[in-house]
Structures are given as structure tokens and as C-alpha cells.
């Protein structure tokens, strides 16, 4: 994140869709898995699966729309090639 700020960019979350399936209880350990998909010129979707560690039960699913923003202008901007390269391992086709 610091590198992005140093280069004058940020990812702003424009929209979240959350599907709550089961509650997490106090002191339960949870796990979060995530990947990026639907990468476009200046935006991408990120999926999160939140599960209970003890039994793997799916507690919630989240889809977030992130927009790449130039902090100097406040406008959306094209994803830098290096950013896409850095996150390639966590991007679904």
C-alpha cells in the first residue's frame, strides 16, 4: 500500500455485495480466502470467502468492486502494468 501511495495511486472500493450465511461466534477463528477477477482498464472485482477454521463452514461471501484512482486528480486511471504483474498469482481468469 505504501508503494501505491508513494506513486500517487490508490484502490477505492466502489461497491460491496455481502452474503451472510452463518454467524461467526465470539472467539471463533476464521479464515479469509481472496482472489481478483474481471480485471478491466481501471477496475477489478475481488472475491472473499470467509470460513470458520474449525469445520470449514462458509460464513460469508463478498464481492467488491475496486477502482484504481490517481490521487493527484481524483480520477480513475488505468492499472499500471507492474500492478497487474505483481497480483497475477492472485488473479482468476
Contacts (Cβ under 8 Å, ≥6 apart) of 30: 24, 50, 51, 52, 53, 59
Nine cell digits for residue 71? 490521487
For residues 16 and 40, the model is more confident at 16
Give 44-81 pLDDT, tens digit per residue.
999 999 999 999 999 999 999 999 999 999 999 888 77
- C-alpha 11/C-alpha 87 separation (Å) is 13
- C-alpha 79/C-alpha 77 separation (Å) is 6
Among 3.10.129.10, 1.10.1530.10, 3.40.50.720, 3.40.50.10420, what is the CATH number of 2-87? 3.10.129.10
Tell me the pLDDT of the chain averaged across its residues: 90
Q: Where are the domains of the chain?
A: 2-87
pTM listed for this prediction: 0.80
**Predicted confidence (pLDDT) at residue 93 exceeds the cutoff of 70:** no
pLDDT of residue 1: 62
Q: How confident is the model at residue 21 (pLDDT cuts 50, 70, 90)?
A: very high
Report the alpha-carbon angle 15-19-25, nearest 5. 120
Contacts (Cβ under 8 Å, ≥6 apart) of 91: 35, 36, 37, 39, 84
Amino acid at each position: 500500500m505504501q508503494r501505491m501511495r508513494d506513486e500517487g495511486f490508490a484502490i477505492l472500493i466502489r461497491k460491496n455485495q455481502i452474503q451472510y450465511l452463518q454467524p461467526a461466534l465470539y472467539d471463533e477463528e476464521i479464515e479469509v480466502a481472496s482472489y481478483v477477477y474481471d480485471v478491466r482498464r481501471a477496475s477489478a472485482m475481488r472475491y472473499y470467502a470467509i470460513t470458520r477454521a474449525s469445520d470449514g463452514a462458509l460464513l460469508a461471501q463478498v464481492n467488491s468492486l475496486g477502482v484504481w484512482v490517481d490521487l493527484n486528480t481524483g480520477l480513475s486511471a488505468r492499472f499500471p502494468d507492474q500492478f497487474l504483474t505483481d497480483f497475477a498469482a492472485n488473479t482468476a481468469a
